[in-house]
Amino acid sequence: MEFDLSAQPEIVQQAAEYSLIVWELAKSWALSPAAWSQFALLIVAYLLAVLVARRLRGMLTRVLTPPTGSETMLSQTRRTLLLGLPLLLPLLAYGFTAIGESVVRSLFDSGAVIAFGKRLFLFLAVRTLVREIISDPLLKLLGRYVLLPVAALYAVGLLDPLAAKMNEMTVTLGNISFSVMALVRGVIAGGILFWLGGWSTRQTSQFIEAQEEMRPSLRQLTAKTIEFAIFTVAFLLLLNIMGINLSALAVIGGAVGVGLGFGLQKIASNFISGVILLIEGQATVGDYVELDGGEAGQIVKMTARAAILETFDGRWIVVPNEDFITTRVVNYSDSGSANRYEAPFSVSYDTDINRVPPIIEAAVATHPDVLDAPYPPDCELRGFGDSGIDFAVEFWVNGLDDGPNKYTSDVLFLIWNALKDNGIEIPYPHRVVEFKGDLPQVSE
C-alpha cells in the first residue's frame, strides 16, 4: 500500500521514510534463517549472562565488602566497586553477544540482528548506571537527559546520521565558530570534567588538611593552588574537546584585562591580598582577629575574595582580604600563641596580706587550662581600696576568654574557694556615717 505524502511537511515525509526502512528491515529479519539463528544466539547469550552474573554477584559481594567501620582508601574503593554490581548482568550479556556476533559474521557474513541486540544490552547497562548507581545530582541530570537519549539513539542505529547532521550545523560567536555536535560534546564532557575536578579537589584538600606538620596558611595556599590548577586543566581540555581554537581566547583575555583595569580592580586587589595572606600566614583559619573597623571574630573560612569571621554570638562577618593588608589587624591566636588574662579580687584589711599570693597562685595553677609558660600564675597587690585590699592574679591560657571558654569565671571560683578554705575574709562595700550634733528625736 502506497500513500502520496508529497503535500505533507518534510518531517512527516522523513518519518514515513524511516518507517518504511524499519518495516523492510523487520520483514527481512522475519524471513531470514540467519536472523532467526541470531535471535537464538541473543537468547542464549542473555541466559548465560544471567547464570554467570548470579554466580559472580555473590562471590564479588563477599570479596568486596570491607570490614565494618573501616575508612581506609582501599575500603572506600571496595564500596565504590560494590555499587557497580547491578551492571554485571547487562555488561556480561553485551560481552557474550559480542562473541556471538563474531561467530555469526564468520558463518553468515551478516550480523545485523545480533549487533542490534548488543547495542540494546549496552543501552540497558547505561539505564542501570543512571537509575541505580549514579547519585551525584549533576551527573544524574546529565545521564537522564543526555546519556540515556544518546544510548537509545545508538541502540536503534540513528546516532551516526544525527551526529552527521549536527556536525553540519554551526554556531558562531564573534571569531569563534563551533558545530552543534561540539556543543553537545562540550556539555557532556564539561559536566564530567568539572565533576571530576570537584571530586579530586575534595580528595586533595582532605589529604592536605591531614598534614598537620604544615602551617595552616600553607595548607590553605596549597589546596587553593591545586584547585585552580585542576579547574584550569579541565577548562582547557573542555575547549579542546569542543574543537575551539585556543588562540581565539586572546579576545576574551583582552576583555578580561580591560575589565580588571576598570571595574574589577577591587576583585583583583582582594584576590592578590588573599594570596599574600596565605603565603605570609599572618592570619589564617582558626585565628581570632580584630580589625581597625571594629570587626572581630574567629576566621572560619578564607576565600579568593574575602575572609569570613564568626563571632561568639553566632554571626558571620565577611571581610574583604584587602582590609587585612591595608589596615591594622590584632591577631589574638596567631600560631597558637598564649593569651594573658587577670582576675581581680579583694580581701579584708584584717588579713595578713603576705599569705595571699602563695595561696592564690597555688589555687589558680590547679586549673587544667592555665599554663606554666611563658609565666605561671602571678598574684599582685594592686592597691588599698575603700572596703578592702585589692589584688589581681594574672594567668596565661591558650585560647580566648569568651564563647565556649570561661577562664576568668573558673579562676574566680578557685579564688573564692581558696580564700574560704584559709579563713580569709572577702569584704563587701560598707560606709561609716557620722552625725554631728544631737541625734534626731523620734516621737512616740
Each residue's pLDDT tens digit, 230-266: 777 877 777 777 666 666 556 566 666 666 566 567 7
Distance, CA of 143 to CA of 339 (rounded, Å): 55
How far, in Å, are 58, 372, 381, 419 from residue 358 at the CA level? 73, 15, 12, 11
Strands (E), 315-369: 316-320, 329-331, 339-347
This prediction has a pTM of: 0.49
Give alpha helix (H) positions in 169-264.
180-209, 216-242, 249-261
Residue 117: per-residue pLDDT: 80
CB 281 within 8 A of CB 215: yes
DSSP secondary structure code for residue 355 in this structure: G
Place of cell 550480523: 111
Residue 174: per-residue pLDDT: 60
Topology (CATH) of 338-421? Alpha-Beta Plaits (3.30.70)
Decide whether 283-334 matches 338-421 in CATH topology. Answer: no
Closest CA to 129 of 95, 88, 74: 88
What is the architecture, at CATH level 2, of domain 283-334? Roll (2.30)
Distance, CA of 377 to CA of 379 (rounded, Å): 7
Q: Flag whether pLDDT at 56 surpasses 60.
A: yes
CB 341 within 8 A of CB 375: no
Q: What is the mean pLDDT of residues 160-181?
A: 72
What are the residue boundaries of the structural domains of the chain, listed by start? Answer: 32-157, 184-261, 283-334, 338-421
Tell me the CB-side half-sphere exposure of residue 158, using CA atoms within 13 A.
11
